[in-house]
């Protein structure tokens, strides 16, 4: 396939070098061939995709071109899709057909994309390895014994394996950036409020944000413009103007960014990661960036604070899954209490139950002040650190994850170890900041990721820097060879 | 975490944990509490809790009703309804 | 010996077009689950957006009870499981409610008393569970889920069932006057829970019981009285009153403990992360203040001053905007003393409304016609008795008062010459009774009047008859 990136595809379709139907069939075949091994998809919407592709071809023949006409895309199964199963990776929603479309889905549909299917994910977005899914683990295409990361494991793996040119994901504590890092692709988490959360099944409402997986930064720039913007259906969505990110990346000639490297991010790095990271710094200096050491003093509290706030909010958000109006209902119940307990216990997996219990504890009488309220204050501390840092620097740099992917099963019995792998990503969610992970090298043939964090609503400079980096490097063009 | 607390939590969250899993769960929860307990020492005197990363006010919606409700689509899962009502085992008041 | 302490929590359904956090309609009586949108059903991924009108209405209420309006108000989640609560939490308010520290005055047996209002906050209503529709199952209708409510919490300032009812009626009249609720207790748009305890005067508050499901003013009295007796019995026999929630059973006229839920429930309130703090500015408040209708208390004072009405009458006439509108419309064409017009409306018009189970807004006789009737009485054109008959007929038919008077030839006979002839005739027919009267049997005046009325088919003007009778009896 000659047209791999989003931009190549859009141009080819526009110029009629390839039809939308042909391109869509190509990806559907790729999925047929490769996905049995990888398990990226929960649902493949073959018929609907072919039908939409034909529709697009008709439009193009009449001269109607939309911003993303003919672009095939994989949608994380956390976004509600009307008339299509939406499972959130859980047995609880195995039988759920959504009666409406999420705003992100609507926007992408209206922009002309073609949905290939719904991707596998950690159950209710809780996890960092895509091993908690009811539908089985997703494999990392670089080595199928290894995890792709999570919770957006299916979306990341699909793009890395080149069975989808792009996909959507969600990031609450790193669930886009970490899988992007482990799978060697680009993963963008926008500023909290940049993209509507309406129709995105809620995990932790004050942390969740929808985002994108692509193979390069310019692709992300094109897509980000289409999914961003104020949504009157989401009270927490921002009305700040949406710039033309692609145009900014291509035409604006800023390159002498001042980049901050937090001491706290490089203290415990292993040697390989450190080397790749410092090589990347050299490349950025080479294009004119200035590097500065900064402190994000309270970053170390991030994981702890996150493991209070996220479970607390999710314990409440998941109460609606009670077997009454939709979703899994136990047939063992003869009283209302049994209906609730059995349906929920049968429908939820272990990690989800753990987090609900922790969250319930953190909010309960007598513990609310010490846990939830305290964690929200720690958020402010962390946010302040970033605020101060952005007074001195334009962007902040660090590794996305402490190491490469781990083996499937390796961390499943150690939830704490799993939580700690989020250490570089959670603080950005707590502060609501945008961040992107791009490939920066390999260790033992497994990808490593570089994280760029920006100030609120400064996605354009993150994308710009990533684009500049990708002009000097070719990590992002590498594909797994299987 | 003792069984009494776990029982209270499972009651509030409507979960049922099989006896055989209680030990493992208790250990897990203890470890998690230890991890999150680290925020205890954080210097947060005088800090306001951050309920939101965004600093703006609730947008308001005009009081106009929309007639676009489709009960049939909403009740796609007919196993849970009867004559348009949702049904549950009889509740004694 | 025992002092009763009562606090009331009133849930008032707001008369908005759409729900508190979704655009679903709020009409009463729709077919089950046809007014429940994906948001009301708590489908995965949905989010709440706040109805501007509900905030405005809460502010209106706050201003009318002299309360403080929050400049920043926060919505919180109250977490518990019940099938009529689709999200598994209710969006309500905990800290930072819209309204705090208000008060209003009530009038009981001529005594004014101030009752404190701790707070009033916005929250969404739950759906309905129906337990007797299907065998072995409860049916859930979520049409009502998400309808806006304000919960008004009083201080425990009431000391008797009468005070509680007076407070309840005052709140009722305020919300109706403001137009923020239709206050229909039968349809459930005005619901009252009572917190009742007893103590020896001067001592600490006793343990209170919460009584739910009180849906009429009459039941409030019954529930409170029953509960006070029950608690008294317990304490006097050495027992302890349990803090519990009880249901009022109107059929048996008693309270009993609620069997389900609520025990050991920890609601785990926390600010709803899907909603942002609501900002209310001074400007917004003053715009609303300027547009407030005249409130019952102010109207009452005005009625007393402007129309020289008695306190109690002014109280009743100002208590509902429909009634006060009716009354004031009637005053516009009144030629009599307004107090008399008020008396007429209060006894006759309200009487007919009550008899036919109607609200004053459904009165079938216009205020103009009422004023006219009352004017005729004052002019001596018809008697009170005749007026009542005319009113009765006008009520049932679509004819005007004038048409009926004309049709039935009702005009009162006030012509003194005509009446003198009739009186003379009657007196001549009963010489013995005339003699007895002259000898001191003054009571016979009533007899003569009765005979004259019979003779004139009730049309004689009683005042004139009396004058003529006295003249003739003294003279003859």
Measure the CA–CA gap between C307 and C303, rounded to whole angstroms: 5
Whether residues C256 and C318 share a domain: the answer is: no
Report d(CA B57, CA C75) in Å as an integer: 12
Catalytic residue among A21, A175, A315, A427: A175
Quick one: average pLDDT of C28-54? Answer: 96
Shortest Cα–Cα distance, B78 to chain C (Å): 13
Element (H, E) at C132: strand C128-134
Residues in a beta bridge with C193? C9
Give the pLDDT band (50/70/90) at residue C265.
confident
Confirm or reject contact between A206 and chain C (CB < 8 A): yes
Of the residues C287, C318, C334, the one at which a domain ends: C287
Closest C-alpha among A234, A266, A89, A269 to residue A175: A89
Share of chain C above pLDDT 90, in %: 61
pLDDT at C338: 94
Q: Rounded to an integer, what distance in angstroms lies between the CA atom of residue A81 and that of residue A99?
A: 8
**C281 in reach of chain B (CB within 8 A):** no
Whether residue C18 is found in the same domain as residue C72: yes
Residue after which a domain boundary falls, among C287, C307, C330: C287
Whole-number Å distance between alpha carbons of A426 and A432? 10
What tens digit of pLDDT does each residue of C223-259 get? 999 999 999 999 999 999 888 889 888 888 888 887 6
Question: Does residue B8 sit within a domain?
Answer: yes
The 3-state secondary structure of chain A, one letter per residue:
CCCCCHHHHHHHHHCCCCCHHHHHHHHHHHHHHHHHHHCCEEEECHHHHHHHHHHHHHHHHCCCCCCCCCCEEEEECCECCCCCECCCCCHHHCCCECCCCCHHHHHHHHCCCEEEEEECCCHHHCCCCCCCCCCCCCCECCECCECCCCCCHHHHHHHHCCCCCCEEEEECCCCCHHHHHHHCCEEEECCCCCECCCCECCCCCCCCEEEEEECCHHHHHHHHHHHECCCCCCCCCCCCCCCCHHHHHHHCCCCCCEEEEEHHHHCCCCHHHHHHHHHHHHHHHHCCCEEEEECCCCHHHHHHHHHHHHHHHHHHHHHHCCCCCCCCCCCCCCCHHHHHHHHHHHHCCHHHHHHHHHHHHHHCCCCCHHHHHHHHHHHHHHHHHHHHHHHHCCEEEEECCCCCCCECCCCCCCHHHHHHCCCCCHHHHHHCCCEEEEEEEEECCEEEEEEEEECCCCHHHHHHHHHHHHHHCCHHHCCCCC
Is residue A332 classed exposed, middle or buried when 0-12, 13-18 and 19+ CB atoms within 10 A define those classes?
A: exposed
Bond into C250 cis (ω within 30): no
Q: Is-catalytic flag, A151?
A: yes
pLDDT of amino acid C152: 98
The C-alpha of A201 sits at a distance from chain B's nearest C-alpha, in angstroms, of: 17
Phi, psi of C95 (to 5 degrees): -85, 155
Q: What secondary structure does DSSP assign to B35-93, as a single string?
A: HHGGGGGS--TTPPP-S-SS--PPPEE-S-------HHHHT--GGGEETTEEEEEPPP-
Tell me which chain B residues have a C-beta less than 8 angstroms from the C-beta of C139: 82, 85-87
Q: Is C205 left (phi over 0), alpha (psi -120 to 50) or beta?
A: beta
Domain assignment present for A319? no
The ipTM of this complex is: 0.96
Tell whether A51 is within 8 A of chain C (Cβ). no
The verdict on a CB contact (< 8 Å) between B54 and A238 is yes
A76 is catalytic: yes
Same domain for C336 and C360?
Answer: yes
Q: CB-CB: which of C17, C33, C38 is closest to B84?
A: C33
Average pLDDT value for residue range A21-47: 97
- Per-residue pLDDT at C25 exceeds 90: yes
Verify whether the Cβ–Cβ distance A415 to B37 is below 8 Å. Answer: no
What is the end-to-end Cα distance of chain B in Å, rounded? 34
- What is the predicted pLDDT for the residue at A428? 97
| B37/A304 touch (CB, cutoff 8 Å), yes or no | yes
Q: Are A149 and A155 contacting, i.e. CB atoms less than 8 angstroms apart?
A: no
Residue burial C196-225, b: 16+ Cβ < 10 Å; e: rest: bbbbeeeeeebebbbbbbbbeeebbbbbbe
CB < 8 Å from A in window 413-472 of C: none
Window C:74-93, CB contacts with B under 8 Å: 74, 79, 81, 83
* Chain B residues in contact with C50 (beta carbon < 8 A): 58-61
Q: What is the mean pLDDT of residues C370-387?
A: 87
The CA distance from A270 to A421, in Å, is 13
Distance from CA of B21 to the nearest CA of A (A): 10
Is C17 within 8 Å of chain B by CB? Answer: yes
Chain A contact present for C52, CB below 8 A: no
Q: Which of A401, A397, A442 is nearest to A269 (CA)?
A: A401
Which residues, 6+ apart, have CB-to-CB distance to A131 below 8 Å?
A122, A137, A147, A150, A408, A409, A412
For chain A, what percent of residues have pLDDT higher than 70? 100
In this predicted structure, what is the pLDDT of residue C476? 54
Strand order in the sheet with A114-119: A41-44, A114-119, A72-76, A167-171, A209-214, A186-189, A435-443, A446-454, A395-399, A258-262, A290-294
Checking if the pLDDT of A249 tops 90, the result is yes
Q: Is a pLDDT exceeding 90 seen at residue C6?
A: yes
3-state secondary structure A248-305: HHHHCCCCCCEEEEEHHHHCCCCHHHHHHHHHHHHHHHHCCCEEEEECCCCHHHHHHH
State which of C407, C428, C444 marks the end of a domain.
C407
Arithmetic mean of pLDDT over chain C: 91
Is residue B14's pLDDT more than 90?
Answer: yes
Q: Which residues of B touch A371 (CB under 8 A)?
A: 36, 39
Domain ranges, residue A221: 6-260+392-477
- pLDDT at residue A482 greater than cutoff 60: no
Inter-chain touch C44–A86, beta carbons under 8 Å: yes
**Average pLDDT for residues C401-428, to the nearest whole number?**
83
Tell me, what's the pLDDT at C422? 85
Confidence of residue C187 (pLDDT cuts 50, 70, 90): confident
Rounded Cα–Cα distance for residues C467 and C470 (Å): 5
Q: What is the pLDDT of residue C309?
A: 94
- C287 CB within 8 Å of a chain A CB: no
CB-CB: which of C23, C34, C260 is closest to B91? C260
Task: Return the higher-pLDDT residue of C386 and A241.
Answer: A241
Domain count, chain C: 3
For chain A, how many structural domains are there in total? 1
Tally Cβ neighbours within 10 Å of residue C428.
Answer: 10
**Across the interface, which of C23, C273, C278 has its CB nearest the CB of B51?**
C273
* Band of pLDDT at residue A253, cut at 50, 70 and 90: confident
Cα C189 to Cα C186: distance, rounded to the nearest angstrom: 8
B72 at interface of A, judged by CB pairs closer than 8 A:
no
Flag if A235 and C266 touch (Cβ within 8 Å): no
Contact C35, C22 (CB under 8 A): no
> Above 60 in pLDDT, residue C261?
no
Q: How distant is the Cα of A365 from the closest Cα of chain C, in angstroms?
A: 6
Q: How many of the other CB atoms lie within 10 Å of CB of A254?
A: 13
What is the band of C75 on the pLDDT scale with cuts at 50, 70, 90? Answer: very high
Out of A98, A324, A360, whose CB is closest to C83? Answer: A324
**Domain for residue B16, yes or no?**
yes
Residue C357 banded pLDDT, cuts 50, 70, 90: confident
Task: Give one DSSP letter per residue of C290-357, joined into a string.
Answer: HTPPPPHHHHHHHHHHHH---HHHHHHHTS-HHHHHHHHHHHTT--S-HHHHHHHIIIIIHHHHHHTT
Measured at the CA of C320, the angle between CA C316 and CA C326, to 5 degrees, comes to 90
Q: What's residue A175's pLDDT?
A: 97
Query: What is the residue whose two structure tokens read 């869509």?
Result: A24
Comparing CB atoms, the residue among A95, A99, A206 nearest residue B51 is A206
User: Which CATH number covers residue A45?
Assistant: 3.90.1300.10
Q: Are residues C36 and C125 in the same domain?
A: yes
- Over residues A49-97, the pLDDT tens digits come to 999 999 999 999 999 999 999 999 999 999 999 999 999 999 999 999 9
Judge whether A187 and A197 are in contact, CB under 8 Å.
Answer: no
Closest residue to A88, CB basis, from C44, C268, C273: C44
pLDDT tens digits along C123-172: 999 999 999 999 999 999 999 999 999 999 999 999 999 999 999 999 99
Structural domain containing residue C42: 3-287
CB B82 to CB C139 under 8 A? Answer: yes
Scan residues 325-364 of A and list those with Cβ closer than 8 Å to B: 325-326, 329, 333-342, 344-345, 348, 353-354, 356-358, 360-362, 364
C111-124 vs C99-108, strand pairing mode: antiparallel
Instruction: Say yes or no: C393 and C470 in one domain.
Output: no
DSSP state of C176: H
Q: How many domains does chain B have?
A: 1
Cβ within 8 Å, pair A333-B89: yes
Cβ-Cβ contacts under 8 Å, B28 against chain A? 354, 415
Nearest CA-CA partner of C14 in C168, C171, C176, C148: C148
CB contact under 8 A, B86 and C34: no
What value does the mean pLDDT take over residues B74-83? 91
Tens digit of each residue's pLDDT (9 = 90 or more) over A327-377: 999 999 999 999 999 999 999 999 999 999 999 999 999 999 999 999 999
Calculate mean pLDDT across residues A416-443.
93
Is A319 within 8 Å of C87 when comparing Cβ atoms?
yes
Mean pLDDT throughout A382-391? Answer: 97
- Cα–Cα distance, A6 to A166 (Å, whole number): 7
A51 given a catalytic annotation = no
Q: What's the rounded Cα separation, in Å, for the pair C436 and A64?
A: 113
What confidence category does residue C470 fall into, taking pLDDT thresholds of 50, 70 and 90? confident
**Tens digits of per-residue pLDDT, B37-47?**
999 999 999 99
Q: Which range among A407-411, C313-317, C469-473 shows the weakest confidence by mean pLDDT?
A: C469-473
Residues 105-124 of A with CB under 8 A from C: none
Q: What is the mean pLDDT of chain A?
A: 96
The enclosing domain of C468 has a CATH number of 1.10.10.410
Burial label, C449 (beta-carbon count in 10 A; 0-12, 13-18, 19+): middle
C128/B93 Cα distance (integer angstroms): 13
Interface contact A205-C273, CB threshold 8 A: yes
- Print the domain residue range for B34: 3-41
In chain C, which residues have their Cβ closer than 8 Å to the Cβ of A325? Answer: 41-43, 86
C414 versus A263: the higher-pLDDT residue is: A263
Asked if the model's pLDDT at residue A41 lies above 90, the reply is yes
């Amino acid at each position: 396939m000659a047209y791999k990136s989003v931009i190549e595809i859009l141009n080819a379709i526009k110029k009629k070098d390839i039809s939308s139907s042909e391109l869509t069939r190509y990806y559907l075949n790729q999925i047929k061939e490769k996905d049995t091994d990888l398990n990226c998809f929960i649902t493949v919407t073959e018929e609907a995709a072919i039908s939409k592709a034909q529709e697009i071809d008709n439009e193009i023949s009449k001269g109607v071109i939309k911003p993303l006409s003919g672009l095939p895309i994989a949608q994380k199964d956390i976004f509600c899709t009307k008339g299509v199963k939406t499972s959130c990776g859980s047995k609880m929603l195995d039988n759920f057909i959504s009666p409406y479309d999420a705003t992100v889905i609507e926007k992408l549909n209206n922009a002309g994309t073609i949905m290939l299917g719904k991707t596998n994910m950690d159950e209710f977005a809780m996890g960092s390895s895509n091993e908690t899914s009811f539908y089985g683990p997703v494999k990392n295409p670089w080595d199928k014994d290894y995890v792709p990361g999570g919770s957006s494991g299916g979306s990341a793996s699909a793009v890395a394996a080149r069975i989808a040119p792009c996909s959507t994901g969600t990031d609450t504590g790193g669930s886009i950036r970490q899988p992007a890092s482990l799978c060697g692709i680009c993963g963008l988490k926008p500023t909290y409020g940049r993209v509507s959360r309406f129709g995105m099944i809620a995990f932790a409402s004050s942390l969740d944000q929808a985002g994108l997986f692509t193979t390069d930064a310019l692709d992300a720039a094109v897509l980000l413009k289409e999914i961003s913007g104020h949504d009157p259906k989401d009270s927490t969505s921002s009305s700040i103007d949406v710039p033309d990110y692609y145009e900014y990346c291509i035409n604006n000639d800023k390159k002498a960014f001042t980049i901050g490297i937090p001491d706290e991010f490089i203290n415990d790095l292993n040697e390989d990661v450190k080397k790749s990271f410092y090589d990347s710094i050299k490349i950025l200096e080479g294009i004119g960036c200035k590097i500065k050491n900064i402190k994000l003093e309270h970053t170390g509290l991030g994981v702890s604070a996150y493991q209070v706030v996220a479970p607390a909010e999710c314990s409440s958000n998941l109460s609606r899954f009670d077997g009454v109006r939709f979703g899994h209902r136990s047939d063992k119940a003869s009283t209302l209490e049994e209906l609730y307990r059995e349906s929920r216990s049968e429908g939820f997996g272990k990690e989800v139950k753990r987090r609900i219990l922790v969250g319930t504890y953190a909010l309960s009488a007598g513990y609310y002040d010490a846990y939830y309220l305290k964690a929200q204050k720690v958020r402010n501390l962390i946010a302040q650190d970033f605020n101060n840092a952005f007074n001195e620097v334009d962007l902040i740099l660090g590794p996305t994850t402490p190491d490469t992917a781990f083996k499937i099963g390796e961390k499943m019995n150690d939830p704490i170890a799993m939580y700690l792998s989020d250490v570089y990503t959670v603080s950005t969610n707590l502060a609501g900041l945008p961040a992107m992970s791009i490939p920066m090298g390999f260790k033992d043939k497994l990808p490593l990721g570089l994280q760029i964090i920006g100030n609120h609503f400064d996605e354009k400079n993150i994308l710009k820097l990533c684009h500049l980096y990708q002009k000097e490097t070719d990590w992002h063009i590498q594909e797994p060879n299987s | 975490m003792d069984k009494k607390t776990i029982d209270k939590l499972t009651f509030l969250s409507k979960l049922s944990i099989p006896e055989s899993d209680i030990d493992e769960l208790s250990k897990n929860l203890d470890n998690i509490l230890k991890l999150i307990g680290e925020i205890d020492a954080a210097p947060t005197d005088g800090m306001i809790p951050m309920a939101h990363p965004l600093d703006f006010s609730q947008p308001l919606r005009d009081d106009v009703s929309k007639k676009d409700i489709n009960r049939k689509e909403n009740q796609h899962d007919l196993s849970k309804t009867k004559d348009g009502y949702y049904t549950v085992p009889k509740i004694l008041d | 010996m025992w002092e009763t302490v009562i606090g009331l929590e009133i849930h008032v359904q707001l008369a908005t077009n759409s729900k508190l956090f979704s655009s679903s309609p709020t009409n009463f009586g729709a077919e089950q689950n046809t007014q429940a949108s994906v948001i009301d059903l708590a489908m995965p991924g949905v989010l709440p957006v706040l109805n501007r009108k509900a905030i405005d209405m809460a502010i209106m209420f706050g201003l009318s009870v002299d309360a403080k309006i929050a400049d920043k108000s926060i919505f919180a989640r109250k977490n518990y499981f019940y099938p009529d609560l689709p999200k598994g939490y209710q969006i309500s308010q905990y800290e930072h409610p819209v309204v705090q520290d208000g008060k209003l005055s009530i009038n009981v047996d001529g005594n004014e008393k101030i009752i404190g209002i701790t707070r009033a906050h916005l929250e969404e209503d739950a759906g309905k569970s129906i337990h007797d529709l299907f065998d072995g199952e409860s049916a859930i209708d979520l049409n009502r889920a998400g309808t806006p409510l304000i919960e008004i919490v009083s201080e425990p300032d009431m000391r008797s069932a009468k005070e509680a009812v007076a407070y309840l009626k005052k709140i009722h009249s305020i919300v109706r006057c403001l137009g923020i609720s239709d206050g229909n207790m039968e349809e459930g748009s005005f619901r009252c829970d009572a917190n009742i305890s007893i103590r020896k005067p001067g001592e600490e508050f006793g343990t209170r019981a919460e009584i739910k499901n009180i849906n009429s003013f009459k039941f409030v009295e019954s529930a409170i009285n029953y509960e006070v007796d029950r608690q008294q019995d317990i304490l006097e026999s050495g027992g302890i009153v349990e803090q519990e929630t009880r249901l009022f059973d109107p059929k048996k006229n008693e309270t009993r403990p609620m069997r389900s839920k609520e025990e050991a429930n920890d609601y785990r309130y926390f600010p709803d992360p899907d909603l942002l703090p609501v900002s209310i500015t001074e400007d917004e408040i003053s715009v609303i203040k300027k547009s407030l209708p005249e409130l019952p208390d102010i109207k009452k004072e005005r009625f007393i001053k402007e129309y020289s009405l008695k306190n109690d009458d002014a109280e009743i006439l100002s208590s509902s905007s429909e009634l006060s509108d009716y009354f004031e419309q009637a005053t516009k064409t009144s030629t009599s003393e307004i107090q008399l017009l008020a008396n007429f409306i209060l006894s006759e018009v309200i009487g007919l409304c009550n008899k036919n189970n109607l609200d004053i807004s459904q009165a079938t006789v216009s205020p103009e016609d009422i004023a006219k009737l009352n004017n005729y009485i004052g002019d001596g054109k018809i008697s009170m008795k005749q007026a009542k008959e005319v009113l009765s007929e006008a009520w049932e038919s679509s004819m005007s008062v004038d048409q009926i008077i004309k049709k039935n030839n009702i005009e009162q006979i006030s012509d003194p010459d005509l009446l003198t002839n009739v009186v003379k005739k009657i007196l001549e027919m009963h010489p013995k009774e005339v003699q007895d009267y002259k000898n001191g049997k003054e009571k016979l005046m009533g007899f003569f009047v009765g005979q004259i009325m019979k003779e004139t088919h009730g049309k004689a003007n009683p005042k004139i008859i009396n004058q003529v009778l006295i003249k003739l009896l003294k003279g003859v």
